[in-house]
């Protein structure tokens, strides 16, 4: 048990997050030199068990802090850890042109990575409960705190071949909405605070101009509700809405097949010892397809 209960106090997206991490509301998990405070409501369903299976991947993406904090919220998890920074590149298409983007990431030191797997388990538990969540990280650079908004969290088990056989080590990587973080030097250990926040009520869906592809429908009687238009949202610059009738099932099958292909390819890259960043790029493309599948209406 920690000697002193920390107080969370941080300004996020114009909101002041202040929380006393007392044991009345939080369970304390200790291991690998870390103390993790997790809200009791989620302590039993989030665990240290590998989130993706040995050799596999898990990818979770938080919502924006402003969206989550605009509703009643609570702190789900707090942990202070030691980590290092590095860079990864990702290829994307903007206006039909191929663009190489560079991201700065943070990951815990190897001895603390197993405990940080808890964060991914908690994120999956919140997703399964249908609760919106977000994550922020406070980086202490030259003893000055810098608040970073977490863009995505990757977790996987990396295989290494040695004379003693194959060894497997957990890896956790955080990327941020800010691509490059000034003052954070590569491979230099820093202290970080990770805070996971969740909305205590599920927000109502909001229609936006870019969220869906709309198709004009015929006029209906005043008391008759309009039927939803069948469509598939654009994904990976290949699948374009709208489609009708039997084309919905065909397009959905194509999306799922492409997603499986990308996931299997990413897994093969990792198991064969290829560049892990290439595998992460494939996971990002698979995520975009999964997002498209969520917008398929029948």
The 10s digit of each residue's pLDDT in 252-274 is 666 776 777 777 666 666 655 55
Per-residue confidence (pLDDT) for residue 18, from 0 to 100: 92
Name the band, by pLDDT with cuts 50, 70 and 90, for residue 165: confident
Q: Is the pLDDT of residue 131 over 60?
A: yes
How far apart, in whole angstroms, are the C-alpha atoms of residue 230 and residue 242?
7
Residues near 103 by beta carbon (within 8 Å), at least 6 away in sequence = 87, 88, 89, 90, 175, 176, 179
How far apart, in whole angstroms, are the C-alpha atoms of residue 297 and residue 198?
28
157: left (phi over 0), alpha (psi -120 to 50) or beta: beta
- Is 212 in a helix, a strand, or coil? coil
Name, of 69-73, 219-223, 256-260, 268-272, the range with top average pLDDT. 69-73
Instruction: Report which secondary-structure segment, H or E, holds 87.
Output: strand 73-94
Domain locations along the chain = 7-199, 207-217+227-298
pTM of the entire structure?
0.66
Instruction: Report which secondary-structure segment, H or E, holds 185.
Output: none
Q: Would you state the structure tokens that stand for residue 278, as one six-digit string? A: 């290439």
Q: Would you state the structure tokens that stand for residue 47, as one six-digit string? A: 């665990």
Instruction: Report which secondary-structure segment, H or E, holds 262.
Output: helix 246-271
Instruction: Report which secondary-structure segment, H or E, holds 178.
Output: none
- Comparing 238 with 169, the larger pLDDT belongs to 169
Lowest mean pLDDT segment, chosen from 21-25, 55-59, 216-220, 288-292: 216-220
Q: Is the distance from CB of 174 to CB of 70 less than 8 angstroms?
A: no
Q: Is the distance from CB of 77 to CB of 40 less than 8 angstroms?
A: no
Q: Is the distance from CB of 262 to CB of 148 less than 8 angstroms?
A: no
Q: What's the mean pLDDT when you consider all of the chain? A: 75
User: Could you tell me which residues are beta bridge partners of residue 170?
Assistant: 157
How remote is the C-alpha of 172 from its chain's centroid? 11
DSSP letter for 179, please: S
Q: Would you state the structure tokens that stand for residue 86, as one six-digit string? A: 């590095």
């Amino acid at each position: 048990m920690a000697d002193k209960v920390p107080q969370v106090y941080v300004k996020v997206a114009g909101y002041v997050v202040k929380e006393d991490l007392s044991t009345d509301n939080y369970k304390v998990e200790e291991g690998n030199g870390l103390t993790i405070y997790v809200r009791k409501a989620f302590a039993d369903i989030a665990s240290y068990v590998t989130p993706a299976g040995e050799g596999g991947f898990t990818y979770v993406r938080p919502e924006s802090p402003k969206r989550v904090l605009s509703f009643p919220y609570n702190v789900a998890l707090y942990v202070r850890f030691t980590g290092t920074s590095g860079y990864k590149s990702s290829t994307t298409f903007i206006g039909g042109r191929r663009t190489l983007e560079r991201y700065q990431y943070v990951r815990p030191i190897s001895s603390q990575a197993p405990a940080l797997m808890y964060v991914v388990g908690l994120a999956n538990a919140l997703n399964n409960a249908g609760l919106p969540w977000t994550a922020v990280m406070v980086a202490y650079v030259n003893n000055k705190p810098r608040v970073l908004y977490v863009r995505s969290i990757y977790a996987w088990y990396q295989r290494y071949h040695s004379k003693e056989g194959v060894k497997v080590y957990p890896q956790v990587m955080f990327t941020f909405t800010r691509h490059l973080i000034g003052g954070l030097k590569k491979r230099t250990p820093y202290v970080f605070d990770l805070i996971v926040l969740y909305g205590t009520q599920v927000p109502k869906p909001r229609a936006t101009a870019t969220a869906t592809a709309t198709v004009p429908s015929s006029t209906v009687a005043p008391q008759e509700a309009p039927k939803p238009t069948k469509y598939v949202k654009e994904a990976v610059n290949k699948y374009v809405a709208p489609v009708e009738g039997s084309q919905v099932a065909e397009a959905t099958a194509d999306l799922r097949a492409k997603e499986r292909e990308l996931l299997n390819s990413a897994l093969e890259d990792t198991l064969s010892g290829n560049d892990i960043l290439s595998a992460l790029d494939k996971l990002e493309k698979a995520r975009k397809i999964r997002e498209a599948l969520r917008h398929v209406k029948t």
